[in-house]
Structure formats: structure tokens, C-alpha cells
Structure 1
Amino acid sequence: MSYYDQLIETVVDGGYLPEFVLRRGIRSQLQERINLIKTTSLEESYATKMKYVDLLRSRPIAIETDAANEQHYEVGTGVLSACLGPRMKYSCCLYPKGTESLAQAEIAMLESYVEKAQLKDGMKMFDLGCGWGSLSLYLAEVFPNSEITAFSNSRTQKEHIDGEAQRKGFKNLTVVTGDIATYDFKGTKLEEAYDRVLSIELFEHMKNYALLLSKVSTL
């Protein structure tokens, strides 16, 4: 991060700017984005989309993974625990009625994953991009006869999940750390070992989906 970026981040995050200035800056950036992506016809819109798709196909699976770790995933767990729900779900929650607590909304979304993926006790499951383990720990809890593997690129995430698993007495959860962009599952005990591969809010960080899914297909 450049000195200029650090200065801007300090000023913005430090609360030094009045709200009307922040709003004006946000609106300006939104308008820049609208101007960038707006098109005059369906054909132009499709051409723009396919140009971006072709760009993604030429890229590696992911970029700037170290920077993402620094900004998000290696942040002290204590900081995140003050912001997230009791299950440390670092992704969307579900509010079916709109009156649920954060803890209830975490459970509601986790239950929806089980239903959508048709998960059953005894299956071997792989959680790709597991975050702080909300899904992996939940699966280990509700499916005691299943083997759960959580994959993370963060040391602090692994430490948290391992600690929670030990505290709750789970013996069916293993955490593997690595960079999905370079990690090779072939020839390891992870190859062709799973009934389900789950990935919650990981793909927005990925670039080349074809390469990623090709790698996932070896699990």
C-alpha cells in the first residue's frame, strides 16, 4: 500500500471526515462505476461481458492472496469476534422472518446449505475457503459420522477452528492451510476423497473459474 493510500485509509477509517463528505465520495465512485459499465445496446453489453470473461480465462486462479490475508484473514480473531455472531460466520446470514437475532440467522443460513447440498451423515465433506469455520464446525456438530476437511489460507483461521474443535470435542474435523491458486491436491490423501465440496462466498475472490473447478474436480 502506497503512502497516499495509507493516508487516505487513516483519514477515512479514523472518523476524521464528516458524513456528508463520505457520502459525496461514495456517490462519486458509484457514478464512475456506472459510467464504466453502462452500455447503449444489448449487443454492446454482451460484448463487454464476454471481453471480461475472456480476461478472466487468461488469468491465474487468484491474485493478491497475500494482500487479502493481510487485510482480512490474518486479522486477529478477537477483532472479528467482536463483530460477528457466535459462530463467527464471515459470510451472509439468513433472516427468513426479518426478526431473527444474528445467532439465529447464522443457523438459518447454515441449515440452508445442508438442504441445498443434500448433505447426509456419513458423507465426506470439503469446505473450500472455510473462513473462521462456521460451516465446518457446524457440519462436524450435526454430522458426527462424517469426515470434514476445512481448507483455509490463513494461519489464524486454522488456529481458531482447531481450538473450537478441541473445545467442543470434535474428532471429525481437519483443517488444511494453503493457497488454492497453487495447492495441488493430486497425489495427496485429499484426492478423490469427498462426496461433497462446499464453497461459501469464495468465488468473488477468484479469477479463473475453469482452472479452479478443474482443481476442485480432483477432490
Structure 2
Amino acid sequence: MATDTLDAQMYEVPISFLKLLFGSTLKESCCYFKDDSITLDEAEIAMLDLYCERSQIKDGHRVLDLGCGYGALTMHVARKYKNCHVTGITYSISQKEYIEEQCKINKLTNVDIKLADIATHEMEDRYDRIIAIGFIEVCTYI
């Protein structure tokens, strides 16, 4: 199917190239530039902090990040709130592997990454916060 090929191509872009586009956190959605002196990396962190603030995440919450991409928000929440358990769901093997590798490097033990199609995945757990940033799933029912 053509969409399967397109999805595979989108997910298999080299990390080094993605860091040029999205900054060091590989955050694929919008950033928050407070002023002209802010760098891309600083704007990414500012936006991640804003997501947390607006979601009213508290230390100890169980957080679900739908369509977690390369884990920018997932890992940000895990670092910022040490007692949170963060679950990220991705459809990409390479994204899952990248996040798990980064979690090992950064000693983040409060992260679980699930490889699943969110359109058909059945949730087994309960969450205090469910976040979907820049994530739209198109479903076709016959």
C-alpha cells in the first residue's frame, strides 16, 4: 500500500538530519520563542514546559503520550517529574528504539514505550493525563 511506504520513509529518516530540522530534543511540533534571542533548543524546552504547565502534570501522575514521536515530551516529563510514570505510544520501531536508548543513557526508569497503532490499540492502564501533541490519526471504517 502506498501509505505504508510513505509512513516507512517518514519514520526512517536519519537522526542526524532530524536534529538539524527539529533541534536536539527531536521535538517535531511547534516551539515557543519568547523573543528573538531564543535558540531552537531553548524554544523546544520552553514549549515542553508549557505543555506540562497547561496539562497540570503533577509529580506522581501516570501520563500517556499518544504518538510520542522521538520522545521529546515523554522524556521531558520523565526528567522533570521523577515520580511520574510516562507511557509513550509510537507506530515506529526506530522511534521506539531511539527513545529506549536515550532513556538508558539518561537513566530514565519511569518510561515505557509501546509499539502500537493507536487507532486499534486497547488501553490496559489508567492515566492521570493523556497528551496528544501534533497528533492526528485518520481512521477509515468500512
TM-score by length of 1: 0.59
Q: Which residue number in structure 2 is paired with residue 197 of structure 1?
A: 130
Q: In the TM superposition, what is the alpha-carbon distance from 1:182 to its structure 2 partner? A: 2.0
Q: Which residue number in structure 2 is paired with residue 46 of structure 1?
A: none
Q: Give CA-to-partner distance per residue, 1:128-148, whole Å, 9 cap, x none.
A: 000100000100100000100
Alignment of 1:42-57 (within 5 A): none
In the alignment, residue 197 of structure 1 is paired with which amino acid?
I
Q: In the TM superposition, what is the alpha-carbon distance from 1:179 to its structure 2 partner? A: 1.0
Match of 1:105 among 23, 26, 43: 43
Q: Distance in 1 between matches of 2:24 and 2:45?
A: 10
Q: Distance in 1 between matches of 2:104 and 2:13?
A: 22
Q: Which residue number in structure 2 is paired with residue 118 of structure 1?
A: 56
1:133 matches 2:71: yes
SS at match of 1:93: coil
Task: Specify which structure has the higher proportion of strand.
Answer: 2
SS at match of 1:162: helix
Structure 2: tracts of 5 or more residues without a match: none
Alignment of 1:19-58 (within 5 A): none
Q: Which residue number in structure 2 is paired with residue 93 of structure 1?
A: 31
Task: Specify which structure has the higher proportion of helix.
Answer: 1
Alignment of 1:137-176 (within 5 A): 137-176=75-114
Q: Distance in 1 between matches of 2:95 and 2:13?
A: 9
Match of 1:76 among 5, 9, 14: 14
In the alignment, residue 103 of structure 1 is paired with which amino acid?
D
In the alignment, residue 199 of structure 1 is paired with which amino acid?
A
1:178 matches 2:116: yes
In the alignment, residue 207 of structure 1 is paired with which amino acid?
V
Query: Which structure: larger Rg?
Result: 1
Q: In the TM superposition, what is the alpha-carbon distance from 1:72 to its structure 2 partner? A: 1.4
SS at match of 2:21: coil
Shift >2 Å, 4+ stretches: 66-69, 74-79, 81-84
In the alignment, residue 45 of structure 2 is paired with which amino acid?
I
SS at match of 1:96: coil
Q: In the TM superposition, what is the alpha-carbon distance from 1:68 to its structure 2 partner? A: 4.5
Q: Is 80-89 or 121-130 further displaced after alignment?
A: 80-89
Q: Distance in 2 between matches of 1:170 and 1:180?
A: 24
Structure 1: tracts of 5 or more residues without a match: 3-63, 212-219
**Residue-pair matches, total:** 140
Q: In the TM superposition, what is the alpha-carbon distance from 1:177 to its structure 2 partner? A: 0.6
SS at match of 2:76: helix
Q: Which residue number in structure 1 is paired with residue 138 of structure 2?
A: 207
